[in-house]
Amino acid sequence: MILPNAVPGPYRAPAWLPGGHAQTLYSSLFIRVPPVEYRRERLELDDGDFLDFDWVDGDPGQAVVVLFHGLEGSSASHYAYDLMRRVRQRGWSGVVAHFRGCSGEDNRLPRAYFAGDSVEIGRILRHVKSRHPDAPLHAAGVSLGGNALLRWLGESGAAAQALVERAAAISAPLDLTAAGNALDRGFNRRVYTAHFLATLKQKALKKARQFPGTLDADAIARAASFREFDTLVTARLHGFRDADDYWLRASSRPVLPAIRVPTLIVNARNDPFLPAWALPTAAAVASDVTLEQPETGGHVAFPSGPFPGNIDWMPQRLMQHFDTVQR
């Protein structure tokens, strides 16, 4: 069944849920989104590793939406269920592309995924396009996945038009230095950083056992900040000097002027993960980039409606953006 396209207005948070922390935590922990049934596809890579794709199959010739999830996310993330459900209702095809080690099975190599892995983004997009060569392909990225997608778009410039019709990034940490410093302080460090490190460290310690001499297991076990973890693990596995070098070189903000695909970038100004002062202005991005920076919304949240609320605004806004060029 194809539903009429919902056209959301500018985002405004419900009065009963004020503040960036409340909007972020409530949307993630308490708003329930119905699950989606996927078809799993595994792509074996030339380097000996693999990538897992979770598909919802639509009508032949209709648009395809690929979603790049956030840090430690997956096709089971609430935002993935919500977007893929909308995609299926429209008769489109959709796919959640898992980064390495995020599909429920450990990847095989001494590497993981990171916020600036534009090579991996390009590999994934080429694969998805090969499955639907004649259909419009739209790409969405959430948080870390949004930053990686924007890096690929900026580095590719006009060449990206051969693969992607339209793109969007939600709550992307455009300035990783600002985001990393914000997440390593106070409440953010005790809640969000501690939450992410619980699984990130577990995966890294398994890598240390699997590939002796690659990582310092004792130091990883003691790590209590993103700066420590990214220096000990992310930088070590992916060729950066340390966290500062990684954050500087992987940030998407410097390449936003080079984007040549119509791209929507949505960041709430009360996002706990990225301070508002680090957000770009319209003068700092390409003319093909549309910036939306509502005062409220939290991080990958944007709750709406009467209590107990929903997270429908975000997928509606994405579908509206992608619908503009639907053939």
Position 141 pLDDT exceeds 70? yes
pLDDT at position 175, please? 98
Q: Considering 143, 156, 225, 251, which one is annotated as catalytic?
A: 143
Give the rounded distance of the alpha carbon of 204 from its chain centre.
21
Torsion of CA 142, 147, 151, 153, to 10 degrees: 30
* Nearest-angstrom CA–CA distance, 269 and 24: 12
Confidence of residue 45 (pLDDT cuts 50, 70, 90): very high
326 pLDDT exceeds 80?
no
Whole-number Cα distances in Å, 71 to 30, 119, 131, 316: 19, 17, 26, 22
What is the percent of the chain where pLDDT is above 90?
96
Region label for 228, one of left (φ > 0), alpha (ψ between -120 and 50) or beta (otherwise): alpha
**Is the per-residue pLDDT at 1 higher than 90?**
no
CB-based contacts of 108: which residues, under 8 Å, 6+ apart? 48, 49, 50
CA–CA separation, 28 and 25 (whole Å): 5
Residue 9 pLDDT level (bands cut at 50, 70, 90): confident
What is the structure's pLDDT at 325? Answer: 53
Which pLDDT score is estimated for 7?
Answer: 59
User: Could you give the 3-state DSSP secondary structure of residue 142?
Assistant: strand
Please give the Cα distance from 54 to 74 (Å, whole number).
Answer: 9
The 10s digit of each residue's pLDDT in 51-72 is 999 999 999 999 999 999 999 9
Q: Quick one: pLDDT at residue 164?
A: 98
Out of 78, 132, 138, 299, the active site residue is 299
pLDDT of residue 324: 75
Judged against a pLDDT cut of 60, whether residue 3 lies above it is answered with no
Helix 313-323, helix 78-89: angle, nearest 10: 40
- 291 burial type by CB count under 10 A (0-12 exposed, 13-18 middle, 19+ buried): middle
Tell me which of 9 and 276 has the higher pLDDT: 276
Q: Could you give the strand order of the β-sheet that contains 64-68, starting from the edge strand earlier in sequence?
A: 39-44, 50-56, 93-97, 64-68, 137-142, 166-170, 263-266, 289-292
Q: What gap in Å lies between CA 291 and CA 267, rounded to an integer?
A: 8
With 80 as the cut, is the pLDDT of residue 77 above it?
yes
Residue of 82, 175, 230, 271 marked active site: 271
**How far is 75 from 39, CA to CA, in rounded Å?**
11
pLDDT digits (tens, 9 = 90+) for 282-296: 999 999 999 999 999
Q: What is the DSSP string of 45-68?
A: -TTS-EEEEEEE---TTS-EEEEE
Residues 15-28: pLDDT tens digits? 999 999 999 999 99
Report, as an integer, the average pLDDT of 255-274.
98
Q: 143 catalytic, yes or no?
A: yes
Which H or E element spans position 123? helix 118-131
pLDDT at 5: 44
Catalytic site residue 271? yes
Question: Tell me: the pLDDT tens digits for 92-130?
Answer: 999 999 999 999 999 999 999 999 999 999 999 999 999
pLDDT averaged over every residue in the chain: 96
Q: For the chain, which domains are there?
A: 20-175+253-323 (3.40.50.1820), 176-250 (no CATH)
